[in-house]
Chains A and B, each alone.
Chain A
Amino acid sequence: MALLVDKHRPRSLDQLTYHKDLSERLRSLAQSGDFPHLLVYGPSGAGKKTRIVATLKELYGPGVEKIKIDSRVFQTTSNRKLEFNIVASVYHLEITPSDVGNYDRVVVQDLLKEVAQTQQVDQSAKQRFKVVVINEADHLTRDAQAALRRTMEKYSPNLRLILLANSTANIIAPIRSRTLLVRVAAPTEGEICEALERSAGKEGWAVAKELNARIARESERNLRRALLMFEAVHAQNEKVSDKTPIPPPDWEALIGQVAKEMIEERSPARILQVRAKLYDLLTHCIPPTTILKTLTFKLIPQVDDALKAEVIKWSAFYEHRIRMGSKVIFHLEAFVAKFMRIVEEHLMNMDF
């Protein structure tokens, strides 16, 4: 009953449909007996995690698929208790240190040491080492990354790390130099369409090629999103055709509304209304940068060509500030005010 994305997820390297050469390389790595630390990076929805799981299966056999969630409590130096979830099988651990925010260093230090100091319990295991998969490695703080460095070398007999990241930009150089970098590129639109068709085939759904192409385009080459959109379209329509509209996710619909309001009227009172909606988006856990980006791209088609560059410029400016600052609404609001001002000034100039 699960959603398509998860139901039809490939389980082994063989089943992966694209980046065949990459799959081959991973397979040979896994069989070589000398498995390196990996840093797998690529945009979300490209299939990083799926590949990792498949590789692990290649390493250890089906045992890795018996996973469970383990809840651990760590204590920080300031005596704060941190609750932390670990996804684990006998052979590997999967952690997301960014869950605990600034305390990720504690987790990385304690947990990795603990894992590294014990040997593989299962004598019949194919490999002597255990694997720790670190999700969102690019969100690790500097401190945590530094803590990783030594661990990676010192405990290499017992431990291999697989870091997952969206980009290597935030990963410190020492880590990059200690890992084998594996880039998982986003699938092309064609590959996405292929995947969609395969899923549709498994479900016995009619295939609408045009629609699939549209989904592939809309998904921004994010296979996960494409599959979910695909499912959403089918969930909301008994019969799909090439013309069936793709329902936007709730937050995107709301941002669209915000953009419409900003275009319609430009006044301080309107900024206040927009602020309320922005707060809504933020409280519902939509990341501010996503909001700003989506909003900008919804605004751009609706403004005069002369303004587009400037709008983009300010959008980038405030996105930077969102990252620099702490109270994101201030910057979002400043962008809204700036946009309204620019547009209004432009219109006034045209009038004269």
Chain B
Amino acid sequence: MPADIRSFFGGKTNTPIREKESKKEEDSKKKRSKSRKIIDDSDDDEPAPPSKRATPKRAPPKNAVKKESPKGEETSTADYFAMSSKAKPKPAKSTPTKPKAVEPIESNGRSSARKKTTASYSQPKDDDDFAFLDDDEDAGDDIFAADVKKNGKHKDDAYVEVDSDDEPLPKPKKTSTKSKSVTNKKNEDVDMKEVGDDDFVVPDDSDDMMDIDKPVTKSGSKKRKSVDLESDEDKDDITPAAKSSKSKSAKQPPAKKPRAPKKNEPESSAVRAILDNIPTVRPPTPPPQDPDHKFDWRKAGAGGGNAGPPPAAGSKEIPVGEENCLVGLTFVFTGLLETLSREEGQELVKRYGGKVTGSPSSKTSFVVLGTDAGPSKLRKISDLKIKTINEDGLLALIRTMPANGGDGKAAEKNLEKKKAELEKIKKEAEEMEREEKSKALEAKKAEKERRRLAAEKGIAPPPPTIRQPDPSSQLWTSKYAPTSMNQICGNKGQVEKIQNWLKGWAKAHKYGFAMKGPEGLGGYRAIIVHGPPGIGKTTAAHLAAKLAGYDVLESNASDTRSKKMVESGLNEVLNNNSLLGYFAGDGKKVDEHKKKIVLIMDEVDGMSAGDRGGVGALAKVCKKTDIPLILICNDRKLPKMKPFDHVTLDVPFRRPTVEQVRSRIATICHREGLKLPPNVIDALIEGSNKDIRQIINMISTAKLDQTAMDFDKGKSMTKAWEKHVVLKPWDLCQKLLGGGMFAPASKATLNDKIELYFNDHEFSYLMVQENFLKTKPSLIGQLNGKEANLKALQLADQAAESISDGDLVDRMIHGSQQQWSLMPTHAVFSTVRPASYVAGLVQSQIAFTSWLGNNSKMNKLLRYVKEIQSHMRLRSSGDRHEIRQQYLPVLWTRMIKRLEMEGKDSVDEVIDLMDSYFLTKDDFDYMMELGLGPQDQENVRLETQTKSAFTRLYNARTHPLPFMKASNVVAPAKMTKEVPDLEEAMEEEDDEIAVEPKEEDDDETDLKKDKYIKQPKVKKQAAERKAAPRKASKTKAKNDDEDDEDDGSEDVKPKKAAKPRGRPAGAKGKGKK
């Protein structure tokens, strides 16, 4: 109670003040808007549940009373405002019943209300008091009454404003519609009586009032704005209007039924009945907010877990509703619906003219609730008391709602809006035409003048110079390029910024760009405009330059802009003035102000390989240019745009909103005689991602063969025009495995799925293979426990088998046969078919394929094995598989395990073993890496001491090398010592080393490459050099002892630098010593 009372008083106090203000200062819009806001707030409070409940019959009488008292004064208001509308209202009011009371409030009441309010605001109080006395029984009543009163007042305020606004505006239609609605309302009133439960009626009233207040005030204020500007702010007007209508509907949800009565139209009963009959759903109570709850980006990224396909997709038939039947209703989707995916549901609503917003607000008419609804949304729903329906409700709504939303209020509002919109569009179109005509006229005049001049001078009239291109032959994009600030769609602030910068440029230049100025505009010689394509960056730059009185020089990607060109080419330009400041064409006046030039560098990020150094040079130019420079690019964040970082002023352009684009497109359509319903335009805009240029091109194309377009056509057109985005492997995989493509309801054809594969045919199948086991297949259905597991295994097996089939096809494509025509087959086997089995919910992050990494790792390790094998080759006969599978495990235990267990004591022996197999230190590391399972590198714990001892000892000793591999040149750093004489040394070595007679011969017929020979020199230590001769002598002695067989080989040797051999020998010799 107390709270209510508070609001009661507060509301009252507010309202009177407001009213006064509004009256006094009708001109000062700001204040009004403020007051309006306040009203809104109060409105929001008012609909609070208690008041609804209270709704006794008594309230209506109060209303009536209230209204009546104001009405007495109405006459004056009537005089004040448009006559037509008032005339009707009054009669309506005169009917004493409650319903009547409602009427006045809505339609006519507004005008009169203002005055009333001032005068009457005390009155209502009295009434209340009175009521209070009367109805002690129910306190709620009073409150309610108060509410009503308040509402009435607010309403009144709003209306006053509106009317006053309307007057200046030449909008006959609006008024007419209003009057119409009034009459309707009258009728409705009657209906209401008949139909309505009284209980409902009361709340209705309050709701209605509130609703009306808001929308009207808003639209009114806007209108005013538009008037001021005198230009058409249609867009803005429209959007608010739309909002207002929505807001209306939005309000209703708390008390659903009221909304129908609100409309007060004959059909409203029907609509109301429909709305009443829509099964509502009780939203689950939102879970308590957890303060510690952390935002999980992973979940959020996946659409909150609700992005998946609906569980029972396609099991319900989607009804075909009347056209635009959801007009004026706003929907919010939350949770996972039963049969519709989120996108499908939203598209459905849009198709029938409804609006979809992301989160529930007071303007939401319905929340379509699914399972797992977001907690924050649920909280909001319960806070705002929004009506919630489920999927069936939505379908029922579509099935039953009459065309154009019936004559429900929302629909009506919508109609009104549309009309106003149309009006503006027409006006704009006219203006455009006028402009065109005047241009043509001017051109003609100039031509005439020229001829006259020529005639005067006695010269034959020169042939008509460049003729103005015929507008009908122009591309629409240039034909309808904005010619004034208010024609620009979106980014107005940015364009103004550019304009201001240009205007202040001369001054800033004078101050050497030291004075930054309020927006920092004075500190830059150049600006960089960046944003996505098709939103009018170039156009805006040109327009701003034109408006600021600059002559434009443009350079774009079609010009070569290398460093040299930029430096030399631009320098010429930079010191120049425009010729237009000094000369003009025949018959035109020289414009003194036209000396200024602005250089527009378009598509700066298009400076590519051919424009080497261009970016840097341009950035340099930006630092010292004497004419303003506007750079334009799409992506400012590219690394190559870095040079512009502190040199230029960033002017980011954003995509315009749908509203900003809509009216412009509508104007063009009107002008060209193309009929596009607003929802089609919206679909086009959204479908093209707000690329204005593309939309204009699209309608231009459409105009060629049709004069109207419906929703489906528009959709298919945007689809056809869709910029072909190549999906990333992740998105591909997500779409295939988790996108519901294989749901029974999915309309995706086999070709669509194959197309996905071709988005990236090198990765798509690998990604599918990587991730196909990470889903919860929807084919499992309702099974659980063991059966589910079995089904999952069966599906996984089928998918895996299909992938295996796919690999065979892959082999035919990439193998020796090169049958590229099999690609679609591969697509089906490797990607589509497996996905068809396991598609469902993707349960973890889509991972990048590990095949590539593993493959390259395998190649690396394979190289290691080969290296090891080639080193061991002189000792062992196995091929590399045998080496890997049989030798390595044993060698591992004999080397690595031993080092691990026995520490540094074993180092010597290990190195001996390695030398006996000609293994290098690198091979040792390779062996570590090749360990697997129990011998995994991870599990090997070599003590650092052992390790360092091993390294030290290994480096200290010399090692035999059977040969040197070109790729390996770096590795044998140790061996550097020997010079030519070693050869002999090695032979003796061989004998010593090998117990067996397997000696290595150096008799290569071909000289080893120089690299081998050089090797020793690079790193030799002097000491070792000295050692060499000694060894040599020793070896010689031994040589003599050696068998005859060696002779042959020895003969050959001297020529070849048998370095490798030499080293081993040297090493051994050393070791011996």
Contacts and interface: CB of A to CB of B under 8 A. Distances in A.
B796 A337 contact: yes
B792 A334 contact: no
Contact of A250 (B787, B800, B933): B933
- Nearest first, the 4 A-B pairs at minimum CB distance are A254-B933, A66-B1001, A49-B877, A249-B889
B801 A338 contact: yes
Interface string A4-27: 011101010000000000000000
A99 interface: yes
Nearest to A4: B890
B771 to A, nearest CB: 10
Given A3-B890, A62-B1043, A285-B865, A69 B963 contact: yes
B793 to A, nearest CB: 5
Given A11-B997, A279-B854, A68 B963 contact: yes
Given A136-B879, A267-B789, A272 B774 contact: yes
A62 B861 CA distance: 36
Interface string A212-228: 00000000000011001
A287 interface: yes
A239 B917 CA distance: 26
A216 to B, nearest CB: 15
Contact of A268 (B793, B814, B888): B793
A67 B984 CA distance: 15
23 contacts: A3-B876, A7-B996, A62-B1043, A63-B1046, A66-B990, A66-B1000, A67-B999, A67-B1000, A69-B870, A69-B874, A89-B1003, A99-B866, A250-B933, A268-B796, A280-B933, A284-B861, A285-B884, A321-B804, A321-B807, A329-B851, A330-B803, A333-B803, A348-B786
Given A65-B998, A224-B882, A326 B814 contact: yes
A128 to B, nearest CB: 15
Among B789, B877, B893, B1002, chain A packs the most CB atoms within 10 A around the CB of B877
Contact of B861 (A85, A247, A283): A283
Contacts of A45: 882
Contacts of A232: 889-890, 893
B992 interface: no
Given A68-B962, A337-B800, A268 B792 contact: yes
A344 B878 CA distance: 41
Nearest to B930: A284
Interface string B974-1012: 000000000000000010000111111111111000000
A156 interface: no
A13 B720 CA distance: 80
Given A250-B931, A331-B807, A338-B800, A235 B894 contact: yes
A231 interface: yes
B800 A327 contact: no
Contacts of B773: 268-269, 271-272, 275
B885 A231 contact: no
**Which of A89, A251, A268, A324 counts the most B-chain CB atoms under 10 A from its CB?**
A268
Contacts of B1001: 63, 66-68, 89-90
| Residue in A49, A70, A121, A280 with the greatest tally of chain B CB atoms within 10 Å | A70
Contact of A325 (B799, B810, B963): B810
B814 to A, nearest CB: 7
A329 B853 CA distance: 13
A254 B1060 CA distance: 38
Contacts of A290: 881, 885
Dominant SS among interface residues on chain B: helix
A282 interface: yes
Given A3-B891, A283-B857, A348-B790, A333 B800 contact: yes
A113 to B, nearest CB: 15
Given A250-B932, A334-B801, A337-B800, A67 B851 contact: no
B17 interface: no
A83 B857 CA distance: 21
A87 B873 contact: yes
Interface string A243-269: 000010111011001000000001111
Given A6-B917, A50-B877, A279-B854, 9 more contacts: A89-B1003, A121-B1048, A249-B890, A271-B773, A272-B773, A325-B804, A326-B811, A341-B797, A351-B786
B1045 A321 contact: no
B934 A253 contact: yes
A136 B857 CA distance: 25
A164 to B, nearest CB: 9
A50 B878 CA distance: 10
A331 B789 contact: no
Contacts of B917: 2, 6
Contact of B815 (A69, A99, A326): A326
A305 interface: no
B797 A337 contact: yes
Nearest to B815: A326
A331 B878 contact: no
Nearest to B771: A272
B851 A327 contact: yes
A1 B913 contact: yes
Interface stretch (B178-186, B291-299, B661-669, B964-972): B964-972
A330 B933 CA distance: 22
Given A285-B930, A341-B797, A330 B769 contact: yes
Contact of A266 (B789, B884, B1049): B789
A83 B886 contact: no
Nearest to B789: A267
A235 B890 contact: yes
A177 B892 CA distance: 43
Interface residues of A, number: 90
Contacts of A331: 804, 807
A73 interface: yes
Given A87-B873, A224-B886, A124 B878 contact: no
B807 A326 contact: yes
Interface string A306-340: 00000000000010010011110111011011101
Nearest to A123: B1048
A122 interface: yes
Nearest to A281: B932
Interface in A62-112: 62-63, 65-71, 73, 83, 85, 87-90, 96, 99
Interface in A149-190: none
B767 to A, nearest CB: 13
A124 B804 CA distance: 60
Interface string B833-876: 00000000000000000110010011001100110001001111
Contacts of B999: 65-67
Given A63-B1045, A334-B803, A2 B913 contact: yes
Interface string B778-819: 000000001101101110110111011011101100110000
A286 interface: yes
Please indicate which of the listed interface residues B803, B964, B1046 has the most CB atoms of chain A within 10 Å of its own CB: B803
A253 B933 contact: yes
A44 interface: yes
B807 A83 contact: no
Contacts of A348: 786-787, 790
A168 to B, nearest CB: 17
A288 to B, nearest CB: 11
B885 A249 contact: yes
Contacts of A125: 1048
A199 interface: no
Contacts of A225: 886
B865 A96 contact: no
B909 interface: yes
B912 interface: yes
A135 interface: yes
